[in-house]
Amino acid sequence: MIRYTIRRVLWGVLVLLVITMVTFLLFGPVLQGQKGLSAASTICGARCTTERIAFTEAYLGLNRPWYEQYGTYLKRIVVGPSERDRERACEKRPDGSFAEDCDVGRLGTTFVRYRSVDAVIRGALGTTFSLTVCAALVWLLLSIPIGVLSALRRGSFFDRSTMVAVLWGQALPVYYFGLLALYFLAYLPNSDIAIDLVGKRFEIFPLGGYADFELANPWPWAWHMILPAGCLALQFAALYVRMLRSQMLSIMGEDYIRTARAKGAPGRRVVVRHGLRNALLPLVTMFGMDIGILIGGAILTEITFGLDGIGHEAVRAVRDLDVPLTSGIVLVGALAIVTMNILVDLFYAVLDPRVRLS
């Protein structure tokens, strides 16, 4: 088990290394070759002289060979920003220290907003993380009972209506659902139409935005999360219901289910301890991957509900040709996926003894 863990972690590190290399090369030397896209010309603006560009290049270290640049880049990610990075980003006090708010990070500074990439991502991550966790909770709580019941009552009215709902859930994109939800649950009750109809406005849900989570009063946070997390969850719930239903259908036909029944196990125990326990196995893999992908940014949901999450930042970064931010987000997304992948594999090995030894 320990060997297995080490092996998986080593693999993960290797994958991340390759990803840093690819993102570096893509956003660095490869983009450099494109006229008007190089970091130096982007930074110094449209009316830039050749000397000015050369100076910027030298200042940013872009005139050094790519492997040296990659080394610096990697070193900064691993050990943190160097003195030189700080000097470049912040004002040095007379005593040689930096201001407390000196904003430098391992991932560099954004081109556009004069903040460190780390700070931008840290700010966005909270939102995305909240969204992901809330949505995941909702879709699991929805899909597990529905999937199981649907499989157990195959062909019933419940099963057939579930399958229709699943089809809708999967076919309609999140911005469609999201806009409908916003219109009917946020905009309409709080508009003049509401006054015309019932003579009063209601602020049922906000039209967007995010409130930080506070332990003392989590309500504002939750209030902002309900619609986006709900809409995101619906889409995943549809997928999970379908997966779990088909898993349960095949598992409940297994010989060991018949054995459990022949032993005299009560129906609920057969379904939960023997059936569901096995049916959830493939879903664990899927769940881990989905969480990883969502932490890398739930772009459509974030944009629909005006949440400043990773996905939203990613779209902005690409639009602004903000190379450090883009590569930083790619890296964070990759880290999330690789980490979830390792966690899933380890968790799976605990859940399924058959993979433990191999």
Q: Which residues pair with 98 in a beta bridge?
A: 92
Q: Which residues pair with 109 in a beta bridge?
A: 116
- Which amino acid is it at 224? H
Binders of another protein in range 54-83 (CB under 8 A): none
Contact between 354 and another protein per CB under 8 A:
yes
- Per the listing, tokens 């409908």 go with 180
Closer residue to another protein (CB): 265 or 315: 265
Q: Rounded to the nearest whole angstrom, what is the least distance from the CB of residue 261 to another protein in the complex?
A: 6
- What element of type H or E holds 236? helix 219-251
Which one, of 115, 128, 132, lies nearest residue 325 by Cα?
Answer: 115
Closer residue to another protein (CB): 199 or 264: 264
Contact between 7 and another protein per CB under 8 A:
yes
What backbone torsions phi and psi does residue 216 show, to the nearest 5 degrees?
Answer: -65, -40
Contact between 258 and another protein per CB under 8 A:
yes
Among 2, 79, 216, 262, binds another protein (CB under 8 A): 262
Closer residue to another protein (CB): 260 or 307: 260
End-to-end CA distance of the chain: 9
Strand, helix or coil for residue 68:
helix
Q: Rounded to the nearest whole angstrom, what is the least distance from the CB of residue 150 to another protein in the complex?
A: 16
CA 93 from centroid of its chain's CA atoms: 39
Among 103, 254, 308, 320, binds another protein (CB under 8 A): 254
Contact between 247 and another protein per CB under 8 A:
no
Q: Rounded to the nearest whole angstrom, what is the least distance from the CB of residue 160 to another protein in the complex?
A: 16
Q: How many residues bind another protein (CB under 8 A)?
A: 24
In Å, how far are 149, 153, 176, 255, 345 from 261, measured between CA atoms?
Answer: 18, 18, 45, 10, 31
Contact between 100 and another protein per CB under 8 A:
no
Contact predicate 152/271, CB 8 Å:
yes
Closer residue to another protein (CB): 218 or 266: 266
By CB under 8 A, which span of 36-44, 78-86, 130-138, 260-268 interacts with another protein? 260-268
Contact between 260 and another protein per CB under 8 A:
yes
Contact between 256 and another protein per CB under 8 A:
yes
Contact between 278 and another protein per CB under 8 A:
yes
Closer residue to another protein (CB): 8 or 316: 8
CA 59 from centroid of its chain's CA atoms: 34
Closer residue to another protein (CB): 10 or 318: 10
What backbone torsions phi and psi does residue 344 show, to the nearest 5 degrees?
Answer: -60, -45
Contact between 277 and another protein per CB under 8 A:
yes
- Which amino acid is it at 110? T
Contact predicate 58/69, CB 8 Å:
no
Among 33, 45, 96, 264, binds another protein (CB under 8 A): 264
Give me the sign of the Cα torsion angle 6, 12, 17, 18: positive
Among 266, 272, 318, 319, binds another protein (CB under 8 A): 266
* Alpha-carbon gap, residue 47 to 335, rounded angstroms: 38
Contact between 180 and another protein per CB under 8 A:
no
Closer residue to another protein (CB): 6 or 137: 6
Which one, of 91, 30, 28, 105, lies nearest residue 62 by Cα?
Answer: 28
Contact between 267 and another protein per CB under 8 A:
yes
Closer residue to another protein (CB): 35 or 268: 268
Q: Which stretches of the chain bind another protein, using CB under 8 A?
A: 7, 10-11, 254-256, 258-267, 274, 277-278, 281, 351-354
